[in-house]
Amino acid sequence: MHWSIIISYGNKRKSMKTVTLKKSDRNLKGTIQLPFSKSLSNRLMIIKAQTSGDFQIKNLAKADDTLLLADLLKQIKERKQQKQIVELDTGNAGTAMRFLTAYLSSKQGKWILTGSERMKLRPIGALVDALRLLGADIDYLAKLGYPPLLIKGRPLRGGEITIDAGISSQFVSALIMTGPCIPGGITIHLRGEAVSKPYINMTIRLLEYFGVQVKREKNKIIIPESAFQPIDYIVEADWSSAAFWYESAALADEVDLILTGLNSNSLQGDSIISSIYQNFGVTTEYLENGVRITKAKKKMDGFYFNFTDYPDIAPPVITTCAAIGIQGRFEGLKSLKLKETNRLLALTNEFKKIGIIIEILDSTDNDLSMEFPPSIMKITLPLRMASYGDHRMAMTFAPLALKMGTITIEDPDVVKKSYPQFWEHLASLGFEIQ
């Protein structure tokens, strides 16, 4: 199949790149080589940086976030003997900011850890407070509780700490990966309802793979002082990226799509996407190296789900319900406000363009939920959807071309954060992309 991609610029007033998708039919047939898991890759690099002895990470993700973290770790290794302050820019990479905050706390040197303007609005105070209890020397350089940070690395001391687990699972993962390198180990008490628990479980299972015997007791995680064992690791494909193909399948008429690199025994919590989309008539067949997804017609009146543990797949699932016109009720959404953009606000704003009004509701447990009634999309072409500088928003809106025939999406380069080949893969399935 021959295809080409042309990314054009919008009008001079907005001066923004756009990509326009067109699909002459509603069929999805072909094979997609999914990107490798960014979540696994980034954790593995932090573990490798703390391991005495070398090991191979096979299938390391090529996402911008992973490449950035690899570069920052290289800079840290090369410049740790410098007496002057070293500034490290994490851009818009949340894992890099959170993981390196913990990692640098015990690394010799003085470090300024900063990021994009959006990163400076994403809270990090709970992680800093926990690290300070272990002896870390961390100061805020601007707003209290937010990046940028000045970190003066020094030996940490083991002990018990408590952290609010309801803000970001990455705070907990950062502490877990640092724990084995702290004399005496650490015990982490989780306060409140943890968000994205599967990512915490992923981190624990990785430590166990590398020989650290983690103990879990209800809301307590005990991490002993221990040396990571150098063992080669093969990274699996990314289930979070697969969510956009499941969304596409739900909006298509005929589907026969193979997604390579996925497996049923995954460390990734977002593998639940295969079960979620059974409700939309999308069937998953596990193959030797991936999955085959097909679709049968299925009548639905509405769909309910709690995304507390799976916030990254909330946008495509919510958009699926809106696009097929069924009632939606979704809970566990509070962490969506703290992502690369406020994803609740982004969905609310963009859905108005297709005639769907979302109601955001506060709940008694300090969470957020969303609902909307059965609606028929009201489409006025040309339709232009904003991505808000957020990779997952751009990829969430792209499958709408199957329902609308054509759609324009702003700032298409943002997909490089997690899925650099996304537009090429759409083109390989018959989407015309200009």
For helices 239-251 and 314-324, the axis angle rounded to 10 degrees is 0
- The length of the chain in residues reads 434
- Pairing mode, strands 282-287 and 432-433: unpaired
200's tokens = 């915490």
Q: Which of 64, 164, 312, 411 is catalytic?
A: 312
Calpha distance 432→428 (Å, rounded) = 9
Diameter of the chain by CA atoms? Answer: 66
| Start-to-end Cα distance in the chain | 17
**Chain Cα centroid distance, residue 92:** 12
Which residue pairs from 225-230 have beta carbons closer than 8 angstroms and sit at least 24 positions apart in sequence?
Answer: 225/158, 225/180, 225/181, 225/182, 225/183, 225/184, 225/185, 226/180, 226/185, 227/51, 227/52, 227/180, 228/47, 228/50, 228/51, 228/52, 228/180, 229/51, 229/53, 230/51, 230/52, 230/53, 230/54, 230/55
Write down the residue that tokens 């499958």 correspond to: 399
- 312 is known as an active-site residue: yes
Which sequence positions are flagged as catalytic?
A: 312
